[in-house]
């Protein structure tokens, strides 16, 4: 949908309080949080089609693919606050227990919802379902949305940004000029929009590829999320809701790149055999594997996250190793914090694009971002080495988690998205 061109004077531009670039999990979630506050004039643009009339429309996005996402307790609270949890929760599987183990070594630890005194430590939801819930709500909100849109130029001005873009499929493209107080860049890792403003990202490849697939089980998963570290990379099996009477878990399996491509191409039988051998039989026998997809794992961090009239969010700001299932949860906390700061700025009659407002948001999130990033990164490295010394360290790490209540408590709170363990202690 193109914002009514009648609002655009012949050479002038339509004004929006905010323009959100990227209609993925983060861009849409933030748009919905802001819409809930009322009064903002928001434009959301997405490079792919945003046709909401068909289910297949969801395949447009790098967010809403065949993956599943482990949502933390805090993410549940955030969705609850914008009235979305009831629908999301209807197709989410609660995590009653997290079981962490190290293949071939003794250390094992379990964290339970009971000891944290909550219904569930987190929830697993399929991205397609998350996407369809977010999109359906987007339709009902007063947000202007433009699919098939490419930004041509971004021109910073003294009190805003001018954006010129092309909207529509090739044959019927229209030019749209927009003026905004704040551009929120949420167009994913390696953001081309941020690059246009000279904001680059630091990249550090893990040399690992994550294979994701849904696995059919011969027994119930009982709400247990398994995190298993192996000498070749970590794997997670997350509980999914039953589908047509089948018991299922969502697999995320990080492997060296070469082994991963062999596993993606292997027959279903060979794949399941390798998986069973690596994981063991805690979840019974693996019966079937669904579509397999591979993701190269790279840690990226934007060189700047806030600038006057600009915020960089989601994967465009930081993308993490998925081992701890924290990337989206962190971005959702960022989004909630930004929405709150913008609301405060409006109440105090301050400019939403001022560096003061945006720095205030960034400084608030910085510690959470740094700790979550360091924790996810060091977890991967801590469990990566095959050596005996590394294994001893890992075993004592898991043992310490099992035995030291304060440490366990900190890790449980971290998993629930409440606080991250201090950087360097992960
Ligand atoms: C295997 C795997 C498992 C994961 N599991 C978890 C988990 O369990 N829990 C968790 O918290 N996190 C998890 N994550 C991380 C999570 O997927 C990301 O944090 C999340 O996808 C980031 O969303 P995003 O909206 O920032 O970016 P994206 O998902 O990349 O979306 C960006 C959107 O912007 C659009 N776009 C791109 N360029 C432009 C442009 N120039 N103009 C307009 N639009 C544009 C794209 O089409 C897309 O729709 C996992 C990641 C991986 C790889």
DSSP calls for 257-273: HHHHHHHHHS-HHHHHH
Same-domain pairing of 235 and 334: no
Please indicate, yes or no, if residue 396 is contained in any of the structural domains.
Answer: no
Ligand 1 contacts CB of residue 294 (under 6 A): no
Work out the pLDDT band at 59, boundaries 50, 70, 90: very low
pTM above 0.75, yes or no: yes
Mutate to test the pocket of ligand 1, among 23, 32, 51, 62 (most ligand atoms within 8 A of CB): 62
State phi, psi for 331 to the nearest 5 degrees. -65, -35
Position in ligand 1 atom list of the atom nearest CA 124: 8
Please indicate, yes or no, if residue 363 is contained in any of the structural domains.
Answer: yes
Domain that holds residue 41: 5-64+131-202+299-375
C-alpha 316 to ligand 1 mean position (Å): 9
Q: How far is CA 65 from CA 126, 168, 225, in A?
A: 9, 23, 21
Ligand 1 contacts CB of residue 96 (under 6 A): no
Same-domain pairing of 218 and 341: no
CA neighbor of 75 nearest in space, from 356, 379, 416:
416
DSSP H or E stretch at residue 156: strand 149-157
Same-domain pairing of 137 and 104: no
Same-domain pairing of 290 and 304: no
Q: pLDDT, tens digit, for every residue of 396-423?
A: 555 555 555 665 566 666 666 665 544 4
> Average pLDDT in the 108-134 region?
89
Q: pLDDT, tens digit, for every residue of 235-254?
A: 999 999 998 899 999 999 99
Q: How many domains does the chain have?
A: 2
Please indicate, yes or no, if residue 416 is contained in any of the structural domains.
Answer: no
Same-domain pairing of 281 and 311: no
The DSSP output letter for 170 is G
Same-domain pairing of 193 and 252: no
C-alpha 192 to ligand 1 mean position (Å): 14
DSSP for 332-367, please give it: HHHHHHHHHHHHHHHHTT--TTSHHHHHHHHHHHHH
Angle of helix 25-37 relative to helix 127-140, nearest 10 degrees? 30
CATH number at residue 122: 3.30.9.10
Does the pLDDT value for residue 382 go beyond 80?
no
Same-domain pairing of 251 and 279: yes
Please indicate, yes or no, if residue 398 is contained in any of the structural domains.
Answer: no
State phi, psi for 103 to the nearest 5 degrees. -60, 130
CATH number at residue 190: 3.50.50.60
Name the pairing type of β-strands 174-185 and 201-217: unpaired
Longest dimension (CA), the chain: 71
Of 297, 328, 353, at which residue does a domain stop?
297
CA neighbor of 212 nearest in space, from 290, 150, 282:
290
Work out the pLDDT band at 44, boundaries 50, 70, 90: very high
Same-domain pairing of 241 and 368: no
Ligand 1 contacts CB of residue 129 (under 6 A): no
Same-domain pairing of 24 and 146: yes
For 332: left if phi > 0, alpha if psi spans -120 to 50, otherwise beta; the answer is alpha
Same-domain pairing of 176 and 50: yes
| Contact between residue 110 and residue 98 where contact means Cβ atoms under 8 Å apart | yes
| Contact between residue 181 and residue 19 where contact means Cβ atoms under 8 Å apart | no
Please indicate, yes or no, if residue 385 is contained in any of the structural domains.
Answer: no
Looking at residue 231, its pLDDT comes to: 79
Q: What share of the chain is helix, strand, coil (3-state, %, to 5)?
A: 40, 30, 30
| CB-neighbour burial class of residue 99 (10 A; exposed 0-12, middle 13-18, buried 19+) | middle
Please indicate, yes or no, if residue 362 is contained in any of the structural domains.
Answer: yes
Separation of alpha carbons 331 and 29, rounded Å: 10
Long-range contacts of residues 267-274, Cβ cutoff 8 Å, at least 24 apart:
272/215
Of 275, 297, 319, at which residue does a domain stop?
297
Looking at residue 383, its pLDDT comes to: 60
Higher-pLDDT residue of 169 and 87 is: 87
Please indicate, yes or no, if residue 84 is contained in any of the structural domains.
Answer: yes
Same-domain pairing of 11 and 147: yes
Of 263, 278, 297, at which residue does a domain stop?
297
Separation of alpha carbons 38 and 28, rounded Å: 16
**Of 324-338, 342-356, 382-396, minimum mean pLDDT range:** 382-396
Closest CA to ligand 1's atom 38 = 187
> Which of 43-57, 59-73, 251-265, 381-395 has maximum average pLDDT?
251-265
Contacts of 353 (CB under 8 A, 6+ apart): 159, 160, 181, 182, 308, 309, 310
Please indicate, yes or no, if residue 415 is contained in any of the structural domains.
Answer: no
> Which of 31-40, 224-233, 411-420 has maximum average pLDDT?
31-40
Q: 243: helix, coil or strand?
A: strand
CA neighbor of 16 nearest in space, from 29, 26, 28, 31:
31
> Average pLDDT in the 193-222 region?
95
Same-domain pairing of 307 and 165: yes
CA neighbor of 316 nearest in space, from 154, 204, 182, 191:
191
């Amino acid at each position: 949908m193109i914002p009514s061109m009648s609002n655009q004077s012949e050479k002038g531009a339509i004004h929006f309080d905010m323009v959100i670039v990227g209609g993925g999990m983060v861009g849409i979630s933030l748009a919905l949080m802001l819409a809930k506050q009322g009064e903002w004039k928001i434009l959301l643009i997405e490079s792919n089609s945003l046709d909401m009339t068909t289910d297949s429309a969801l395949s447009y996005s790098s967010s809403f693919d065949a993956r599943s996402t482990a949502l933390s307790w805090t993410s549940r609270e955030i969705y609850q606050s914008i009235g979305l949890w009831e629908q999301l929760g209807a197709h989410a599987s609660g995590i009653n227990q997290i079981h962490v183990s190290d293949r071939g070594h003794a250390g094992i630890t379990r964290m339970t919802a009971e000891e944290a005194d909550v219904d569930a430590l987190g929830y697993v939801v399929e991205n397609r379902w998350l996407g369809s819930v977010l999109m359906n709500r987007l339709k009902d909100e007063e947000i202007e949305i433009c699919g098939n849109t490419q930004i041509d130029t971004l021109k910073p001005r003294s009190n805003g940004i001018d954006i010129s873009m092309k909207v529509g499929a090739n044959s019927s493209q229209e030019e749209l000029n927009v003026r905004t107080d704040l551009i929120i860049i949420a167009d994913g890792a390696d953001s081309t929009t941020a690059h246009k403003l000279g904001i680059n990202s630091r990249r550090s490849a893990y040399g690992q590829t994550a294979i994701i697939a849904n696995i059919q089980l011969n027994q119930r998963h009982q709400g247990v999320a398994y995190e298993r570290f192996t000498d070749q990379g970590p794997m997670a099996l997350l509980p999914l809701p039953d589908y047509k009477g089948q018991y299922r878990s969502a697999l995320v399996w990080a492997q060296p790149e070469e082994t991963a491509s062999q596993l993606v191409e292997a027959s279903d039988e060979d794949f399941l055999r390798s998986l069973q051998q690596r994981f063991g039989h805690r979840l019974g026998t693996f019966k079937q594997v669904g579509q397999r997809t591979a993701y190269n794992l790279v840690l990226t961090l934007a060189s700047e996250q806030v600038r006057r009239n600009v915020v960089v969010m989601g994967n465009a700001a930081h993308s993490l190793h998925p081992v701890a299932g924290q990337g989206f949860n962190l971005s959702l906390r960022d989004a909630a914090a930004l929405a709150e700061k913008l609301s405060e700025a409006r109440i105090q009659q301050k400019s939403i694009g001022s560096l003061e407002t945006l720095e205030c948001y960034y400084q608030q999130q910085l510690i959470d971002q740094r700790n979550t990033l360091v924790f996810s990164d060091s977890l991967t490295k801590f469990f990566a080495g095959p050596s005996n010394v590394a294994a001893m360290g890992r075993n004592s790490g898991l043992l310490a988690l099992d035995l030291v209540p304060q440490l366990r408590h900190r890790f449980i709170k971290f998993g629930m998205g409440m606080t991250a363990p201090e950087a360097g202690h992960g």
